[in-house]
């Protein structure tokens, strides 16, 4: 009697403290249907990857755990490795390419959420919402920060990286009345005309003129520590720095020192190098708003992300062209 053909296996790998609202793989199973078996696993790092995960035909990874060449070499059946999110800097995509494993991400979910969050962080600083709230909650009603409150139409909002999210953020800032400028050396000439904002040809020029600087670039060798001591020193002492991109784009030690010394007026950081904050001293840094890597998150965004990653996994097991391949395969 012939042996039954093995059905493709798809592993959805979540981190162990996953929010209960996100746990399980029912949505993925619904999208993928009968073409494969979908199984849900918990793993905090690649050492937690079980043989069942490593032998899967497609792997969907939630968290930002490092995935090295040694682990990729054990993925003997893998037809696609999907990073459930935008960033993939923790995955050795070159090693995956050498083994013929496409790596995909989900770049088009959460665009609105991250742009909204960046604007919210900027507005919280520009309008001094947290100091005002502390004053009111202490039963006071004094306008201690009135000298820091600014009219938006007098301020320049600087965008570093005008991709999907950077563009969405720029349009929101423009609608609020900011003068918007951007720096992105990889975009073709004329992009600024299509969006209706100003372009500068160097990061230094943007840092010197902007009252708010919002980062929207990937993390790679070029952008690691894009903002460090030298760059912070170029900013106005009244300027605010916002990061909803990747933690390593800003040197944590440098920005915390700049806030303590008053080199810049404040920072709104959704992502932080080596997150979370490690000490009470870091958490007490003046004029710092931190938001637990939450910018991407919404009920609708989670559904969109999970649906997209499941669709790519289904494409892989069916032998169809894959969406969002990032390692050239």
In a domain, 327, yes or no: no
If asked whether residues 142 and 42 sit together in one domain, one would say no
Model pLDDT for residues 262-287, shown as the tens digit of each residue: 999 999 999 999 999 999 999 999 99
Distances (CA, A) of 13 to 6, 107, 233, 284: 21, 19, 42, 34
Residue 89: its pLDDT value, please?
Answer: 87
- Residue 246 is a catalytic residue: yes
Residue 109: its pLDDT value, please?
Answer: 86
In what helix (H) or strand (E) does residue 199 lie, and over which residues does it extend?
strand 198-199
Residue 115: its pLDDT value, please?
Answer: 98
If asked whether residues 58 and 123 sit together in one domain, one would say no
In a domain, 322, yes or no: no
Rounded mean pLDDT, 37-52: 93
Closest CA to 263 of 251, 277, 278: 251
Contact, 295 vs 244, CB < 8 A?
A: yes
If asked whether residues 167 and 142 sit together in one domain, one would say yes
Q: What is the CATH number of the domain that holds 255?
A: 3.40.50.720
- Residue 275 is a catalytic residue: yes
Number of folded domains that form the chain? 2
Contact, 227 vs 241, CB < 8 A?
A: yes
297: helix, coil or strand? coil
Q: Of the residues 112, 135, 229, 275, which is catalytic? A: 275
Model pLDDT for residues 153-170, shown as the tens digit of each residue: 999 999 999 999 999 999
48: left (phi over 0), alpha (psi -120 to 50) or beta: alpha
Is the pLDDT at 63 greater than 80? The verdict is no
pLDDT classification of 5: cutoffs 50, 70, 90: confident
What is the rounded CA–CA span in Å between residue 287 and residue 266? 5
Tally of CB atoms within 10 A around 134: 11
- Residue 273 is a catalytic residue: no
Q: Of the residues 246, 273, 304, 306, which is catalytic? A: 246
If asked whether residues 80 and 224 sit together in one domain, one would say no
Model pLDDT for residues 232-244, shown as the tens digit of each residue: 999 999 999 999 9
If asked whether residues 233 and 168 sit together in one domain, one would say yes
Is the pLDDT at 204 greater than 70? The verdict is yes
Q: How many residues does the chain have?
A: 329
What is the rounded CA–CA span in Å between residue 211 and residue 288? 16
What is the rounded CA–CA span in Å between residue 322 and residue 270? 31
If asked whether residues 79 and 212 sit together in one domain, one would say no
If asked whether residues 154 and 240 sit together in one domain, one would say yes
Where in the sequence is the domain holding 48, given as residue range(s)? 9-109+298-317
């Amino acid at each position: 009697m012939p042996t039954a053909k093995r059905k493709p296996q798809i592993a959805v790998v979540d981190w162990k403290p996953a929010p209960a609202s996100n746990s399980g793989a029912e949505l993925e199973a619904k999208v993928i249907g009968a073409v494969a078996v979908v199984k849900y696993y918990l793993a905090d790092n690649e050492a937690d990857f079980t043989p069942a995960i490593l032998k899967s035909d497609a792997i969907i990874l939630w968290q930002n755990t490092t995935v090295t060449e040694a682990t990729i070499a054990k993925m003997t059946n893998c037809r696609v490795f999907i990073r459930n999110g935008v960033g993939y800097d923790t995955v050795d995509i070159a090693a995956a390419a050498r083994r013929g494993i496409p790596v995909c991400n989900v770049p088009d979910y959460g665009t609105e959420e991250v742009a909204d969050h960046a604007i919210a962080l900027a507005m919280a600083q520009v309008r001094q919402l947290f100091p005002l709230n502390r004053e009111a909650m202490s039963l006071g009603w004094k306008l201690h920060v009135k000298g820091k409150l600014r009219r938006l139409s007098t301020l320049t909002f600087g965008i570093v990286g005008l991709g999907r999210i950077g563009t969405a953020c720029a349009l929101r800032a423009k609608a609020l009345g900011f003068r918007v400028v951007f720096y992105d050396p990889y975009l073709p000439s004329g992009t600024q005309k299509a969006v209706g904002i100003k372009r500068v040809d160097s990061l230094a020029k943007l840092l010197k003129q902007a009252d708010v600087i919002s980062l929207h670039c990937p993390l790679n060798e070029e952008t690691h520590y894009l903002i460090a001591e030298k760059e912070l020193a170029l900013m106005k002492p009244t300027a605010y720095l916002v990061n909803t991109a990747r933690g390593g784009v800003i040197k944590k030690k440098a920005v915390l020192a700049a806030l303590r010394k008053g080199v810049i007026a404040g920072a709104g950081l959704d992502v932080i190098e080596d997150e979370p904050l490690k000490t009470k001293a870091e958490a007490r840094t003046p004029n710092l708003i931190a938001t637990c890597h939450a910018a991407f998150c919404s009920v609708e965004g989670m559904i969109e992300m999970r649906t997209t990653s499941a669709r790519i996994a289904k494409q892989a097991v069916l032998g169809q062209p894959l969406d969002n391949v990032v390692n050239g395969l």
